[in-house]
Chains A and B, each alone.
Chain A
């Protein structure tokens, strides 16, 4: 579980309390869906940061 308040503070995010709570709620939900996906990500898979639709691993 990430400490979003500490991360926000570290990033210098100056947001009113209720707004910060909404941001944290949204990010926590996304993190919950995203984090488990990383468990079996093998090292040879490189990022698609320059993505070309021709690519296919099928």
Chain B
């Protein structure tokens, strides 16, 4: 069931919020031990909030489509009175006395918080093999990676434990688990959703967004969390709109850019075939598919890596003397960041400004871009090397290669499932638009979804 379907069931009194929350809790009890999607389950709190939601609906106080809907958030969002670990030993006992703006807005919209989701330690990696809270498993195949860093968010949504989840995305950390777990994941424009109350990884690259089981549901969550927040210095005053796509929304005449460089180099042929299939479907729905050359993507990737190393190490500096409190992969990245020269960081931020200016010229030619989200479906857990296009590649760099650039550019990007690999693993399609054009990329995603681009539900979801 999607949020949209649950909304009708709640309004028709076929189901209550308490029944939805109870079903979610029972399911989490049954499968979380194997998936390790949650770090903290807030059953008592959720039931209390669900009872309030039911009472409000009975009295005619309807908070909107998220009213009474079970959700969960990555354990990087501050939650008042609920432990917030960042997936890290460093913050294992942190209990905030306030909630992150995005969490507060979800609760204001009536969503019922089921708990805090497992993740890659400090959101600094893409495997979600957390050394302290256990390795998150992919619901499609437990031997394969769920992606990360928001791996618990992807797994919990795919496995039907919650209807939607919040994640964060600094170099693909929403879109990668969405692609590997077969969910929809949206990284909005930088500044569209407040970062206030989110443990930072890299201040100028961090984005907050939803993972959900349909494009429409992702839009419903965005509606609740988007908007200016004076407590976040990067928050934008750009006006918010209703992001939900209309039923039967058309993409006729829309100019879709299909990259002729970078995005289809060194990738799995099954991924290429599925993404080309989605593009053909867009064309059959009336979109005008235009081949385009994308400027500077390898350079933008290098710029993003330089900024990430420096910013992550800067804010973790007070803790770096205690090596035993970090996993070896995260410690290695934090130590790399300590060796980045200040001049290189500043120049990376100058190059970023120039790259954004050059990239924006592309929007004169096309309205949005279609690319793969990742160059392969979920790799086996612990694979030491990614073999793509006949060459070995660092799995972290390979997995982030097609997504990181849009964190540097701050542009909105949606990942949605577009097929299954021969071994039955989801493949992700990425739709990128100009700044603050979330509604456009959601409309494209919804049209493709309605046009048959997608995958069947994960089998564990109906178990």
Binding site for B on A (CB under 8 A): 4, 7-8, 11, 13, 15, 19, 22-23, 26-27, 30, 33-34, 37-38, 41, 45-58
- Say if the beta carbon of B346 comes within 8 Å of chain A: yes
Task: Specify the chain A residue showing the minimal Cβ separation from B333.
Answer: A26
Q: Across the interface, do B353 and A53 meet the contact criterion of CB distance under 8 Å?
A: no
Q: Across the interface, do B338 and A48 meet the contact criterion of CB distance under 8 Å?
A: no
CB distance from A29 to the nearest CB of B (A): 9
Can you spell out 8 A-B residue pairs with CB atoms less than 8 angstroms apart? A11-B338, A19-B332, A22-B332, A27-B336, A47-B350, A47-B352, A53-B189, A53-B236
Cβ-defined partner of A57 (8 Å) among B356, B410, B436: B356
**Chain A residues within an 8 Å CB radius of B299:** 33, 37
Q: Across the interface, do B204 and A49 meet the contact criterion of CB distance under 8 Å?
A: yes
- Say if the beta carbon of B335 comes within 8 Å of chain A: yes
Main secondary structure, interface of A, reads: loop
In this complex, how many residues of chain B approach chain A with their Cβ under 8 Å: the count is 45
Q: Bound state CA distance, A19 and B348, in angstroms?
A: 26
Q: Across the interface, do A58 and B363 meet the contact criterion of CB distance under 8 Å?
A: yes
Cβ-defined partner of A34 (8 Å) among B344, B354, B356, B358: B344
Q: Across the interface, do B339 and A48 meet the contact criterion of CB distance under 8 Å?
A: no
- B 286-309 contacts with A by CB, 8 A: 298-299, 301-303, 305-306, 309
Q: Across the interface, do B357 and A52 meet the contact criterion of CB distance under 8 Å?
A: no
Q: Bound state CA distance, A22 and B339, in angstroms?
A: 13
Q: Across the interface, do A51 and B204 meet the contact criterion of CB distance under 8 Å?
A: yes
Q: Given the interface contacts A23-B332, A54-B238, A56-B356, does A37 sit within 8 Å of B191 by beta carbon?
A: no
Q: Across the interface, do B306 and A30 meet the contact criterion of CB distance under 8 Å?
A: yes
Q: Bound state CA distance, A27 and B338, in angstroms?
A: 11
**Chain A residues within an 8 Å CB radius of B435:** 53-54, 56
Task: Specify the chain A residue showing the minimal Cβ separation from B298.
Answer: A33
- Say if the beta carbon of B233 comes within 8 Å of chain A: yes
**Chain A residues within an 8 Å CB radius of B338:** 11, 13
Q: Across the interface, do A57 and B360 meet the contact criterion of CB distance under 8 Å?
A: yes
Q: Across the interface, do B349 and A53 meet the contact criterion of CB distance under 8 Å?
A: no
**Chain A residues within an 8 Å CB radius of B234:** 50-52
- Say if the beta carbon of B190 comes within 8 Å of chain A: yes
Q: Across the interface, do A48 and B357 meet the contact criterion of CB distance under 8 Å?
A: no
Task: Specify the chain B residue showing the minimal Cβ separation from A47.
Answer: B349
- B 323-365 contacts with A by CB, 8 A: 328, 332, 335-336, 338-340, 344, 346-354, 356-358, 360-361, 363-364
Q: Across the interface, do A8 and B189 meet the contact criterion of CB distance under 8 Å?
A: no
Interface centre among B346, B350, B352, B358 (most CB of A within 10 A): B350
Task: Specify the chain A residue showing the minimal Cβ separation from B411.
Answer: A53
Q: Across the interface, do A30 and B335 meet the contact criterion of CB distance under 8 Å?
A: no
**Chain B residues within an 8 Å CB radius of A45:** 350-351, 353-354
Q: Given the interface contacts A23-B332, A23-B339, A58-B360, does A48 sit within 8 Å of B350 by beta carbon?
A: yes
